[in-house]
Amino acid sequence: PSGRVLGLSKLPRIVDAFAHRLQMQERMTSQIAEAIEQLVEARGVAVVVEARHLCVEMRGVEKAESQTVTSCMLGAYKSDGQLRAEFMELAGRR
């Protein structure tokens, strides 16, 4: 680790940078994790994205409040099952 700290205000900025593009949620989740990993040179990064898709809500299956959850684990979070489980529990995704 580089000793760098990412301020809380930076997280929404990173998310917004990728969320305002036309793309798949899975790819966006990976891009957010990779950006954080590069910025802080972390040993591990874990990202969970929970999003509403208007295409699902407005047409087709018309499921109001339908949400899709994606995650991306890098470094220590990918290789250490206990660390990953602890994160998912804290994120409410166990």
- Give the tens place of pLDDT for each residue, 17-30: 999 988 899 999 99
Pick the CATH number of 10-90 from 3.30.1130.10, 3.40.710.10, 3.30.365.10, 1.20.1250.20: 3.30.1130.10
- With H, G, I as helix, E, B as strand and everything else as coil, classify residue 55: helix
Q: Note the pLDDT tens digit of each residue in 54-93.
A: 666 666 666 666 788 999 999 999 999 999 999 999 988 6
Distance CA 9, CA 6 (A): 8
Q: Is the confidence at residue 9, as pLDDT, over 70?
A: yes
Which helix (H) or strand (E) segment holds residue 84: the answer is: helix 81-90
pLDDT at 93: 66
Q: Where are the domains of the chain?
A: 10-90
pLDDT for position 53: 74
